[in-house]
Amino acid sequence: MKRIKVSNNVIRRLPRYLRKLDELNEQGVSRISSGELGKQLGLTPSQIRQDFSCFGDFGQQGYGYNVNTLRQDIATILGMDRGFNAILLGVGNIGNALLQNFSFEEWGFSMKAAFDVKPELIGKEVNGVPVLSQEQLSDYLQQNKVDVVVLCVPKEIAVKMTNDLIEQGIDAFWNFTNVELTDPNSDVLVENMHFSDSLLALSYFVSDKADEELARQNRQKRLNNRT
């Protein structure tokens, strides 16, 4: 499978395909064409076929795609069957919410342990995940395979924490700290969940929409005045 350079845009669309295919599966739809899939996702059929063709031939001429097998193929492409291990750092509000609510297993990850400094948390379990002391982290990393670290620590210590971890061999972070960790010159993977970036983009679109509405109304007014 794959082995060509796949663009970031394509990769970002794969999880959307997966979710849509899951949905279709639930609805009992067993086959779908690029045309129909495109309509449901707001993409062109061409784009969908191009996207898939980065990874192989999943369709059948005259028929389309089998929902179930395509879903599995995309899951494989995304690495969902690789049994990646994750640990979580910082069992505060957001860390806790993730442990309680986010189904890591559903997406192919195994959440092995959480770490914090607060004595009242250590030794507890959150949704079946043991909370260990921050001090145990180094030992833990030496004794266990950890593929991804979920970063939920306070802003202030995020950068130092990350650098320590990188030194200990961690090279993939899921970053909830709203701090820019991305070092342009390193090959450490950082996937950001920047809440504020998302809200501000929405803020822009809302502003823009309001401005346009206003402009439209003003045009209308001028037109009315003229008559």
Binding site for a copy of itself (CB under 8 A): 2, 11-12, 14-16, 18-20, 23, 39, 41-42, 77-80, 82, 84, 92-94, 96-98, 100-102, 104, 106-109, 147-148, 171-172, 174, 178, 180, 182, 184, 187, 189, 191-211
Per CB under 7 A, the segment of 30-38, 93-101, 156-164, 210-218 that binds DNA is 30-38
3-state SS, residue 225: helix
Report the phi/psi class of residue 42: left, alpha or beta, with left for phi > 0 and alpha for psi in -120 to 50. left
Q: How many beta carbons lie within 10 A of that of residue 40, not counting itself?
A: 12
Q: Which is nearer to a copy of itself, 122 or 146 (CB)?
A: 146
Please tell me whether residue 114 adopts helix, strand or coil conformation: strand
Q: Of 60, 1, 2, 72, nearest to 32 (Cα)?
A: 60
What does 60 interact with, of a copy of itself, DNA, none (CB < 5 to 8 A by kind)?
Answer: DNA
Q: How many residues bind DNA (CB under 7 A)?
A: 25
Q: Measured from the CB of residue 167, what is the shortest distance to a copy of itself in angstroms?
A: 18
- Terminal-residue alpha carbon distance, the chain: 67
Name the binder of 193 from a copy of itself, DNA, none, CB < 5-8 A by kind.
Answer: a copy of itself
Give me the sheet containing 172-175, strands edge to edge.
Answer: 125-126, 129-133, 109-116, 84-89, 148-151, 172-175, 189-192
Which of the residues 62 through 101 are near DNA (CB under 7 A)? Answer: 62-65
Which of DNA, a copy of itself, none lies near 140, with the C-beta cut-off 5 to 8 A by kind?
Answer: none
Examine residue 133 and tell whether it contacts DNA (CB under 7 A): no
